[in-house]
Amino acid sequence: MNKYTESFAANLKDLIGETTISEFAEKVKIPQPTISRYLSCQRQITFDNLVALADYFDISIDVLI
């Protein structure tokens, strides 16, 4: 785990808010297990998914990481 993975996980948790992981995963079209691994710092995000999340939240990639 590195500081960027931890920072990304914390930022994503904040952005998801009260939405369930499964509901969020369906909205962003990223498998729920993948989102769960991002949130638990067990997986680093791919560039494609990073872009998809930034687009979904209408924020820059810098804000996510």
pLDDT of the residue at 31: 97
pLDDT in tens, 28-42: 999 999 999 999 999
Question: Residue 42 is part of which domain span?
Answer: 3-64
Number of domains composing the chain: 1
Calpha distance 62→42 (Å, rounded): 20
Q: Is 17 left (phi over 0), alpha (psi -120 to 50) or beta?
A: left
pTM summary value:
0.89
Q: 15: domain CATH number?
A: 1.10.260.40
- Which residue ranges of the chain lie beneath pLDDT 50? none
Q: How much is the pLDDT for 2?
A: 80
